[in-house]
Chains A and B, each alone.
Chain A
């Protein structure tokens, strides 16, 4: 493709968690697989959306990117620097450049710290502002995220959910990062407020030339903010393509079903039978072969034995499925 190296590249990333044993019962060494061999790249200035249901590993992936969770295997490279093996001081430096916005702005803000201080603190720690420059810095950021200057003296509990998410964004931007990881940033918000925050993120990412990984379970939200979209299922990326394309011609049976399952706000587009049957398998017990086979309409014998790797369906569009590219297109239309 292009000769410009990606800003972020993830190779064969793996992470699993040991089952929590109890006093009476040992965990028996069972492990839940959260991220199971993920490779992806994010170009500078790109907005990559990651979609998945619970247990897909999307949040674990996000947290591994800045080593809030230590991956078990694989590498993460940010702007040519190996994040996975970076010593503490270097990691600190990388984290200034890569910031994270979480789903619940209430639990990510200290309830006893005033908003102004919460925003200025990371900038001071990372040496972005001089001693004494914190207040002015906080004011600039409050304005940037559309909050009144008076918000600086307030406590998180005095703000609404949408305002708190603005503060969380201001706090992430406080250290002038290049890369933003937004993990379900609007999932806890009401629709009217969700639109405000999505517009704000959109504006900030373009005006500050940020690169963003945007994680959500809501496809419509992801479509709205992403250049490219990765669909995750049980620890794997099963399909990745430019946003337009994944919504126009989804290839993987899971993506097709997921798109169909979203309740459209249009009573004229009603469906009566569910798009995908069955439950999401337990991450402790991932099916052999293709992990979606237990719920797939197109399942064949080889799906149980062979684990499909991502293959290129179209330039820039990769799918991990044995069967689907050989089915007539009419079967897979949304």
Chain B
């Protein structure tokens, strides 16, 4: 499929957060590749490390977090070795990011217009007039009606959906090769989420952007991603093409997560939800071996010695569970 070199190549990424008496490992040896025009989903529950992984890619890990191992290669550049000035030039221009809550990433005291115009002048060297014209085009492309008037509005005058559209306009303004989207629709209503996801896919097809989409929602992942990495307790436990992952999950956690979903097509009384027993893991106090073992229906003594390395389990399909044959 993808013969060429990946646009983004992450190897053995480790990001930690020192706590009072221990070190919490939020990202624990994560590796993946992403090609041009491809969408990779990072899916997991709270504390799985999906957001921290995403932020690590731009070295935007919040204090006191720190990347202590691994490599991130983007378009031939070693991100972890870039000096701050080169990193700044990269952010927003070649790699853009959108967040869950656009209200916190748009500055409330500047007009929406000025926040789109500024990066165009900075990164693309446009004159004020060119940038203004481009901003009108961008708002129009992301589906904001009467764009030239809307440029003069402040973020609080926008609805949640419009703010996310404006954020996307800012993000694509410099034609990035890679878009990092961290739960971009989680704060939105379902009909608005639907619109924003369609918009993202449309823009991706036009611009050939690669996207890393972080979400806790398997529905969102199924609808948008080419490939999926499932995260649990800082590890990628399974990675596969989206269709393969949903059809034949090869890690017990993925399988359990799919079973726990109440489906829209499911009639009441058809089936009791298969809950995953127990509580989410405490990242500061993980068991040895597989962190999912205490909650796994197929647990066995050897689970405490599992390395959590991904192993091939089919065509471009890999799992960290050596006993995945139990899933049939």
Q: Are B261 and A191 in contact (CB under 8 A)?
A: yes
Q: A261-B191, A262-B219 are in contact. Are A192 and B198 (CB under 8 A)?
A: no
Q: Does B306 contact A (CB under 8 A)?
A: no
Binds A, one of B20-28, B68-76, B132-140, B270-278: B270-278
Which single member of A192, A220, A244 contacts B280 (CB below 8 Å)?
A192
Q: Are A195 and B275 in contact (CB under 8 A)?
A: yes
A292→B265 CA distance, assembly (Å): 25
A227→B194 CA distance, assembly (Å): 27
A193→B246 CA distance, assembly (Å): 20
Q: Are B223 and A270 in contact (CB under 8 A)?
A: yes
Q: Are A244 and B267 in contact (CB under 8 A)?
A: yes
What 7 additional pairs, Cβ within 8 angstroms, besides A264-B222, A265-B258? Answer: A163-B279, A192-B275, A195-B261, A218-B262, A244-B268, A273-B198, A274-B191
Q: Which residues of B contact A44 (CB under 8 A)?
A: none
Interface residues of B (CB under 8 A from A): 45-46, 159, 161-162, 189-195, 197-198, 201-202, 216-223, 242-243, 246, 256-258, 260-268, 272-277, 279-280, 295
A54→B279 CA distance, assembly (Å): 30
Q: Are B268 and A243 in contact (CB under 8 A)?
A: yes
Which residue, of A160, A219, A264, has the highest number of chain B Cβ atoms within 10 A?
A: A264
A199→B195 CA distance, assembly (Å): 32
Q: Which residues of A contact B264 (CB under 8 A)?
A: 219-220, 223, 247, 259, 262, 264
Q: Are B279 and A195 in contact (CB under 8 A)?
A: no
- For A38-82 the 0/1 string (1 means CB < 8 A from B) is 000000000000000110000000000000000000000000000
A280 to B, closest residue via Cβ: B189
Interface residues of A (CB under 8 A from B): 53-54, 160, 162-163, 190-196, 198-199, 202, 217-221, 223-227, 243-244, 247, 257-277, 279-280
Which single member of B190, B191, B220, B257 contacts A191 (CB below 8 Å)?
B257
A229→B268 CA distance, assembly (Å): 12
Q: How far is the CB of B270 from chain A (nearest CB, A)?
A: 9
A selection of 24 A-B contacts at a CB cut-off of 8 Å is A162-B279, A163-B279, A190-B216, A190-B280, A192-B257, A194-B262, A196-B276, A220-B261, A225-B268, A244-B268, A260-B194, A261-B190, A261-B191, A262-B219, A262-B264, A263-B223, A265-B218, A265-B261, A265-B263, A268-B243, A269-B222, A272-B201, A279-B159, A280-B191
B45 to A, closest residue via Cβ: A190
